[in-house]
Amino acid sequence: MSNDPLSIAIGSDHAGFPLKVVLARALREAGHTVHDFGTHSAERVDYPDYAHVVCRAVEAGEARFGVLVCGTGIGMSIAANRHPAIRCAHASEPVTAHLARAHNDANVLALGGRMVGEELALGILSAFLAGTYEGGRHAGRLAKLTPSEGNL
């Protein structure tokens, strides 16, 4: 994990709850500030509710990054990417997570609690947090992601 302390918002639905607990604990143990927006049990809930609250925290600057966990990670990533200031990457292995930061300046990571085990998820999260946006040739592409006249 990143050596510099970060503020990280984390949230999950019921399917992602067990993995969220593991990730939040690891983040705290690494010295990061964790804002856990729930859910706080395995009782059924709707994933968009948790994606939106985490993304609002990132958008408001209350957290540098967000981490979202649902069954596959797909629903959370779709919900998160509805927010204009969010670039959520769904990753199932560390290389994608690292490149999402390096090339796409991703600020939210989505994981599938039913798709990846704890050890792999920790590796994905570590790669994501260790990544640094490269800018350069990627900056023009990122600019095209912001809705404006002529590019959507």
Q: Is residue 38 in some structural domain?
A: yes
Q: Is the pLDDT of residue 99 over 60?
A: yes
- Side-by-side strand order, sheet with 7-12: 33-36, 7-12, 65-70, 108-112, 88-90
Range of the domain at 51: 7-143
Task: Please tell me the predicted confidence (pLDDT) of residue 140.
Answer: 78
Q: Is residue 90 in some structural domain?
A: yes
Q: Report the amino acid identity of residue 38.
A: G
Q: Is the pLDDT of residue 152 over 90?
A: no
Q: Is residue 62 in some structural domain?
A: yes
Reported as type and span, the H/E element at residue 74 is helix 74-80
Q: Is residue 81 in some structural domain?
A: yes
Q: Is residue 24 in some structural domain?
A: yes
CA–CA gap between residue 124 and residue 114 (Å, rounded):
15
Task: Please tell me the predicted confidence (pLDDT) of residue 107.
Answer: 98
Active site residues: 70, 103
Domain count along the chain:
1
**Cα 128 from chain centre:** 9
Average pLDDT for the chain = 93
CATH number of the domain bearing residue 69: 3.40.1400.10
